[in-house]
Amino acid sequence: MSEVLVVGELNVDLILSQLNAFPAPGKEVLAQDMDVVLGSSSAICAAGLAKLGAQVGFVGRVGNDAYGRFVLRALERLGVDTTTVRVDPDVRTGATVSLVYRGDRALVTYLGSIATLRAEDVPVDCMSNYRHLHVSSYYLQKNLQEGLPLLYRQARALGLTTSLDVGYDPEESWQRDRVLALLHHVNFFLPNEGEACALADTGDVEEAAAFLARHVQDWVIVKRGAEGALAHARDGRRVHVPAFPVTVVDTTGAGDSFNAGFIYAYALQRMPIEDALRFAAVCGALSTTGIGGTAAQPSLEQVWEFLRQH
């Protein structure tokens, strides 16, 4: 049996780093480095799981173009099964330009194929081969949204655990009612602090976690960057783990690598929640020590070695 099925968006990231300033309207700035790498929250999470040794399949869409071929080759090299990725000749593969400045970043995304994936693209008979279903980037995938409740119900009926990372809403509407209803089908909800507070309509992260936990099946895990991670269970339990200090090069995909670590540790390996959060925090931290979302993702051995030293 395979282990994790990831359903989501696929795109390339064009990363411009070591900027001499952050660009203002009408101004031009210089970047000292440029990389073209595998992007997208879903793909980075899938890659992180594969690096840890999990068997991972992916459902998504790309265009019949150079970027689409780049994405597929990158996933396959990383050990992700792309059998159920559809190549659509009628769309162009999505792309994100990432401007990295002083340890943070700004993103500009062309959706392209990202917005064309539908729940019907996920073969139900395929799901029965997996133990866990993960979906990322809810707000970017307009055509996937309507079918997600049924997809999650089908997965749970087949015995899969489920997780969701909604990502940032570029429109900042947040669709609170729809997302809160969707969370009833989700075992593990994995927002960052800003997303959690926006969905809970509060500026207090503890309040946000407690509110969202009332809607999920099991746990809300709020990623807080340098402040670590906060987990709140539906039954009221709370756990906090600090972040691990590393030399940050690029934060692209850190939350997605955290997601991969948590899914591996908690959903697949059944570690105690605090151990799983520490494991996930290491995955997120180490991923920031290289350019792009996947270059510095750790292997299982690297995570254990880091934990032994810390």
pLDDT digit of tens for each residue in the chain (310 aa)?
689 999 999 999 999 989 989 999 999 999 999 999 999 999 999 999 999 999 999 999 999 999 999 999 999 999 999 999 999 999 999 999 999 888 778 889 999 999 999 999 999 899 999 999 999 999 999 999 999 999 999 999 999 999 999 999 999 999 999 999 999 999 999 999 999 999 999 999 999 999 999 999 999 999 999 999 999 999 999 999 999 999 998 888 999 999 999 999 999 999 999 999 999 999 999 999 998 899 999 999 999 999 999 9
For residue 208 the two structure tokens come to 């946000």
Alpha carbon dihedral 204, 205, 207, 213, in 10-degree steps, equals 160
Q: Give the structural domain span for 282.
A: 4-23+32-309
* Residue 104, pLDDT score: 78
Residue whose entry in the numeric block shows the structure tokens 């976690």: 209
Residue whose entry in the numeric block shows the structure tokens 């570029």: 170
Q: What is the pTM of this model?
A: 0.95
| Non-local CB neighbours of 282 within 8 Å, separated by 6+ positions | 244, 261, 298, 303, 306, 307, 310
* Residue 179, pLDDT score: 99
* Residue 9, pLDDT score: 98
Task: Select from 29, 30, 41 the least CA-distant residue to 287.
Answer: 41
H/E stretch holding 107 reads strand 104-110
| Non-local CB neighbours of 239 within 8 Å, separated by 6+ positions | 230, 231, 273, 274, 277
Q: How many domains are contained in the chain?
A: 1
Q: What CATH number does residue 16 fall under?
A: 3.40.1190.20
What span, in angstroms and rounded, lies between the C-alpha atoms of 233 and 228? 17
* Residue 291, pLDDT score: 87
Q: Enumerate the β-bridge partners of residue 229.
A: 223, 241
Using an 8 Å Cβ cutoff, are 180 and 215 in contact? Answer: yes
Within its chain, how far is the Cα of 248 from the centroid?
19
* Residue 105, pLDDT score: 81
Task: Select from 156, 165, 161 the least CA-distant residue to 132.
Answer: 161
